[in-house]
Amino acid sequence: MWVRILPCGITFSGKCLRGFKEKEKEKRPSSLEKARWQIIENSNIDFSKFGWVGELAKLFGIAPNRAGYYVKIHYPDFYKNCFIRNRSLR
More confident residue, 13 or 41: 41
Confidence band (pLDDT; 50, 70, 90) for 12? low
Is residue 78 domain-resident?
yes
Q: Which of 82, 72, 77 is nearest to 48 (CA)?
A: 82
Domain count for the chain, please give it. Answer: 1
Is residue 17 domain-resident?
no
| Predicted confidence (pLDDT) per residue in 22-81, tens digit | 555 555 557 888 899 999 999 999 999 999 999 999 999 999 999 999 999 988 899 999
Is residue 15 domain-resident?
no
Residue 33, number of CB atoms within 10 A of its CB: 14
Is residue 75 domain-resident?
yes
More confident residue, 13 or 81: 81
User: What is the domain extent for residue 35?
Assistant: 28-90
Amino acid type, 39: I
Helix (H) or strand (E) holding 34: helix 30-42
